[in-house]
Amino acid sequence: MTKPGSHAEREGSQAELIRRSLKRRYRKERRFRLYGITAISIALFSLVILFTDIISKGYTGFIKTTVTLEVHLDDDLMYLNDASDPEQIAMADFQAPIIKALQGYFPQATSRADMRELSRMTGSYASNQVRDMLKANPDWLGTTRTIEFPAHDTVSVYVKHSGDPGYSIRLSEQQQRWTDELLSKGVIDTGFNDVFFTSGDSREPSNAGILGALVGSLLTMGITLVIAFPVGVAAAIYLEEFAPSNRLTDFIEVNINNLAAVPSIIFGLLGLAVFIGLFGMPRSVPVVGGLVLALMTLPTIIISSRAAIKSVPPSIREAAEGIGASKMQVVLHHVLPLAMPGMLTGSIIGMAQALGETAPLLLIGMVAFIVEIPDGFFSSATVLPVQIFIWAGSAEQGFVELASAGIMVLLAFLITMNAFAIWLRKRLERRW
C-alpha cells in the first residue's frame, strides 16, 4: 500500500539528495579548476623565474669596469730603450709602469706582497695592452699617457656587486679598500661593455666577447639555410605532388617522421663519423656544423612545407591544369608561390631551433677555445650556445656573467626570428 503523496515525497527526498550531492560535485568542480589554474601558474612561474634569473645574473655582463691611469712609460722601469726593437719588446717589463701609476695613489704600498696585489687591480692583459701601444707608437717611450685598462675580474665583480659580501671573498681587504678609494676618485669607473660585442673569447673575462661566436653562428646558419631550405622545399614538393603511393614513398615518410624525433646528439655522432671520419673534413669548422644542423632541421622544414603545400586549395591547381599547364608548371608557377609564406615561416622556426642547438656541435669539436674571429667557412669557430656553455662551465664569476649576457643575446635573436615568422604568417598567409 502506498500512501498518497509518497511518490512526491520520494521525489522530494531524491531532489534533496541531488541537491546535497550537487554541493559536493560543485566543490569537486571548483577543485578541478583550481588544479588547472595551479598547473598553468606553475608553468608560467617557471618561465618568469627563468627569465628573471638570467637577467639578474647577466645584466652585469653588459657593464665593464675600467681603471684609467696616467702611466708614465718610463724606459728604466721597463728595461727598454728602443721600443721599435722586437727583441727588447719581448724582454721588457710592462707591468712595472702600471704598478708605479697605481702607487701614485697608494704610496705606502711598496712591499712585494702589496705590489703583487696592486698588479691584480688591472686585468691580466694590461701589460700586453701597454706593450701593443708601444709597439704601435715607439716614440711614446718616456712620455706620460692616459690609458684605460679593464679592471681585474675580481675587482670588477666587487664593483658591480658592491655591498654584497658574497661577491668580495676573492678580493683581499686591502684591495677592497683600494678599490673603494679609486672608485671615489673616479679612477675606477663602469661603463657599457663594448668589449663584449667587439672581441672573441679570452682567458680573461674582461677581455672576452661574443663577436667570435656570433660570426661563427652566422656562418654555420648560412650553410644550414643554403642546404636545408632548398632541399626541404624540394623534398616536400616531391612528397606532396609527385610521389607515387608505393613502399618507397612510405619509407621516406616514416624516415622523416622518425628523424624529427631523433635526439640531436645522434646527429653529432653522424657528423663525427661521416663528415669528419669518412670525408676527412676538419674539426670545429662552420661547414661541418652547418651540414649537421641542416640534416637536423630538414625534417622540420619538410613537415611544415608539406603543410603549407597542402593548404593551397585544389581549385587553384585545377584551374591551372584546365588552361593547359603541365604538372610541373602548376607546382612551380602556382602552388609554390602560394605556399611560400608558410614554408618560410616553418623554415625560420626550424632555423631558430638550429641556432639554439648545442649538443651535436660539441661532438664535432666546435667547443674549442678560439680567440680569433672566424673569417670563413673553413676556419675554426664556435657558436653562440656553445660559447655560453663554455663560459657557464668556468669558475670565474666574470664568465658566469658573460654567459648570462650571452644567453640574453641568443634569446634576443630567437625572439626576433620567431616574431618575424609570426609577422610573416599574419602578413602573407592567405585564408582560403
Partner 1 sequence: MQTADLLPLVLVLAAVAYGFAYMRSRAVAAPLGGISNLKALPAYYAARAALWCAIPALVILGAWAAFEGKVIQNIVMASLPTELTPQSAGHASLTLSQISNLAAGKLNPAMVPDGISSAAVLLQELREHSSNFKSLLVVLIAVLGGTFAWTRVAPTINARKSVELTLQRLFFVCAAVAILTTIGIVFSVIFETVRFFGKVPMSEFLFGTNWSPQTALRADQVGSEGAFGVIPLFTGTLMISAIALLIAVPVGLLSAVYLSEYASPRMRSVVKPLLEMLAGVPTVVYGFFAALTVAPFIRDLALMLGLEASSQSALAAGLVMGIMIIPFVSSLSDDVINAVPRSLRDGSLALGATQSETMKNVIFPAALPGIMGGILLAASRAIGETMIVVMAAGLAANLTANPLDSVTTVTVQIVTLLTGDQEFDSAKTLAAFALGMMLFIVTLLLNVIALKVVRKYREQYD
Question: What is the footprint of partner 1 within residues 323-362 (CB under 8 A)?
Answer: 326-328, 352, 355-359, 362
Whether residue 374 contacts residue 380, with contact meaning beta carbons closer than 8 Å, is answered with yes
Maximum CA pair distance of the chain?
A: 129
Nearer to partner 1 by C-beta: 188 or 302?
Answer: 302
User: Sign of the C-alpha dihedral, residues 308, 313, 316, 322?
Assistant: positive
Binding of residue 126 to partner 1 (CB under 8 A): no
**Window 232 to 261, contacts with partner 1 (CB under 8 A):** 232, 234-235, 237-239, 242-243, 251-252, 255-259, 261
Among 15, 16, 17, 42, binds partner 1 (CB under 8 A): 42
Among 17, 47, 169, 428, binds partner 1 (CB under 8 A): 47
Provide the minimum distance between the beta carbon of 259 and partner 1 in the complex, in angstroms, as a whole number. 6
* Half-sphere exposure in the Cβ direction for 147 (13 Å, CA): 27
Question: Between the CA of residue 325 and those of 46, 237, 243, 329, 339, what are the distances in Å?
Answer: 55, 17, 19, 6, 18
Provide the minimum distance between the beta carbon of 249 and partner 1 in the complex, in angstroms, as a whole number. 8
Binding of residue 141 to partner 1 (CB under 8 A): no
Burial grade of 214 (CB within 10 A; 0-12, 13-18, 19 or more): buried
Whether residue 373 contacts residue 216, with contact meaning beta carbons closer than 8 Å, is answered with no
Question: Between the CA of residue 82 and those of 74, 77, 94, 99, 140, what are the distances in Å?
Answer: 12, 13, 14, 21, 10
Of 259, 343, 359, 348, the residue nearest 308 (C-alpha)? 343
Provide the minimum distance between the beta carbon of 413 and partner 1 in the complex, in angstroms, as a whole number. 10
Which range, of 67-75, 120-128, 137-145, 267-275, touches partner 1 by CB under 8 A? 267-275
Among 9, 12, 15, 50, binds partner 1 (CB under 8 A): 50
Nearer to partner 1 by C-beta: 114 or 201?
Answer: 201
**Window 181 to 240, contacts with partner 1 (CB under 8 A):** 230-232, 234-235, 237-239
**Window 402 to 431, contacts with partner 1 (CB under 8 A):** 403-404, 407, 410-411, 414, 418
Provide the minimum distance between the beta carbon of 404 and partner 1 in the complex, in angstroms, as a whole number. 7
Which range, of 79-87, 136-144, 182-190, 292-300, touches partner 1 by CB under 8 A? 292-300
Nearer to partner 1 by C-beta: 37 or 113?
Answer: 37
Nearer to partner 1 by C-beta: 183 or 260?
Answer: 260
User: Per-residue string for binding with partner 1, 368-407, x by CB under 8 A?
Assistant: --------xxx------xx-xx--xx------x--xx--x
**3-class SS of residue 258:** helix
Binding of residue 28 to partner 1 (CB under 8 A): yes
Beta carbons within 10 angstroms of residue 65's beta carbon? 26
Those residues with Cβ within 8 angstroms of residue 331's Cβ, 6 or more apart along the chain or in another chain: 237, 241
Distance in angstroms (rounded) separating the CA atoms of residues 32 and 294: 44
- Binding-site size for partner 1 (CB under 8 A) equals 91
Nearer to partner 1 by C-beta: 121 or 348?
Answer: 348
Of 152, 150, 145, the residue nearest 120 (C-alpha)? 152
**Window 66 to 95, contacts with partner 1 (CB under 8 A):** none
Among 9, 11, 29, 85, binds partner 1 (CB under 8 A): 29
Cell 673553413 belongs to which residue? 378
Strands lying side by side in the sheet with 63-72: 144-150, 63-72, 188-192
Nearer to partner 1 by C-beta: 129 or 284?
Answer: 284
C-alpha cell at 232: 626541404
